[in-house]
Structure 1
Amino acid sequence: MAVPATAFAANSPSDAGDGRSTTAVAPAAVGLDDPAKKEIAMKIVSSAENSSLDWKAQYKYIEDIGDGRGYTAGIIGFCSGTGDMLDLVELYTQRKPGNVLAKYLPALRNVDGSDSHAGLDPNFTKDWKKAAEDSAFKTAQNDERDRVYFNPAVSRGKSDGVGVLGQFIYYDAIVMHGDGGDPTSFSSIRKRALAKAKPPAQGGNEKTYLNAFLDARVWAMKQEEAHEDTSRVDTAQRVFVQKNNLNLNTPLDWKVYGDSFHID
Structure 2
Amino acid sequence: MKRNSRHLISLVLLGMVTLSSFSDYFSMSTVTAKADTVNSTILAEKGGTYWLTKEQKHRAEELTSVFENSTTELDYAYGENLGDGRGITCGRAGFCTGTGDAILVVKKYMDKKPGNILSKYLPALTELENNRIQTKHDQEDVSSLDKIGNFISDWAIAAKDPDFRAIQDSVVDELYYIPSAKKADLLGLKLPLSRAELYDAIIQHGNEQNDLDSIDSLIARATEMSGGTPRSNVDEKVWLDNFLNIRKACLSYCYKEGSREEWADSFGRVDVFKKLVKDENYYLDKPITIEGTSWDGMVVP
TM-score bin, normalised by smaller chain: 0.7 to 0.9
1:89 aligns with 2:106: yes
1:179 is matched with which residue? 207
Q: List gaps (5 residues or longer) in structure 1.
A: 6-27
Specify which structure has the bigger relative contact order, considering alpha-carbon pairs within 8 angstroms and separated by 6 or more residues: 2
Contact 1:100 1:131 in 2 (8 A): yes
Q: TM-score, normalised by structure 2?
A: 0.74
Higher helix share: 2
Tell me which residue corresponds to 1:245. 281
Which ranges in structure 2 are unaligned for 5 or more consecutive residues?
1-38, 41-47, 130-137, 255-259
The structure having more radius of gyration, on CA atoms, is 1
Aligned mates of 1:258, 1:92 — CA distance in 2: 32
- Cα displacement (A) at 1:225: 2.1
Residue aligning to 2:233: 203
Of the candidates 90, 105, 110, which is equivalent to residue 122 of structure 2?
105
> How far has the Cα of 1:258 moved from its partner?
4.5
Offset of residue 111 of structure 1: 2.8
TM-score with structure 1 setting the length: 0.84
Q: 2:249 aligns with which of 214, 219, 230?
A: 219
Query: Where does residue 12 of structure 1 map in the other structure?
Result: none
2 CA distance for matches of 1:152 and 1:105?
A: 26
Secondary structure of 1:72 counterpart: strand
Which residue identity is paired with 1:237?
F
Q: Whole-Å Cα distance in 2 between the matches of residues 148 and 126 of structure 1?
A: 24
**Alignment RMSD, CA only?**
1.8
Aligned to 2:270: 233
Mapped pair 1:129 → 2:156: yes
Counterpart Cα distance in 2 of 1:258 and 1:138: 25
The count of corresponding residues between Structure 1 and Structure 2 is 235
**Distance between the aligned counterparts of 1:89 and 1:97, measured in 2?**
10
> 8 Å contact 1:111–1:118 — kept in the other structure?
no
Deviations 1:157-192 (A, max 9, x none): 133222211111101110001011211100000000
> In 1, distance between residues paired with 2:297 and 2:204?
21
Report whether the alignment pairs 1:115 with 2:140. Answer: yes
Q: Distance in 1 between matches of 2:278 and 2:155?
A: 40
Structure 2 Cα separation of the partners of residues 259 and 187 of structure 1: 30
CA displacement, residues 33-76 of structure 1 (integer Å, 9 cap, x when unaligned) = x1111110111001111111111xx1111110111111000000
Offset of 1:135 from its aligned partner?
1.3
> Hey, which of these two has a bigger chunk of strand by percent?
1
Could you say what secondary structure the match of 1:52 adopts?
A: coil
Return the alpha-carbon distance in structure 1 between the equivalents of residues 251 and 55 of structure 2: 29
The structure 1 residue matched to 2:297, chosen from 248, 260, 263, is 260
**1:250–1:263: 8 Å Cα contact kept in structure 2?**
no
Instruction: Tell me, yes or no, if the aligned pair for 1:78 and 1:85 is still in contact at 8 Å.
Output: yes
Match of 1:63 among 80, 83, 89: 80
Of 59, 63, 77 in structure 2, the residue corresponding to residue 44 of structure 1 is 63
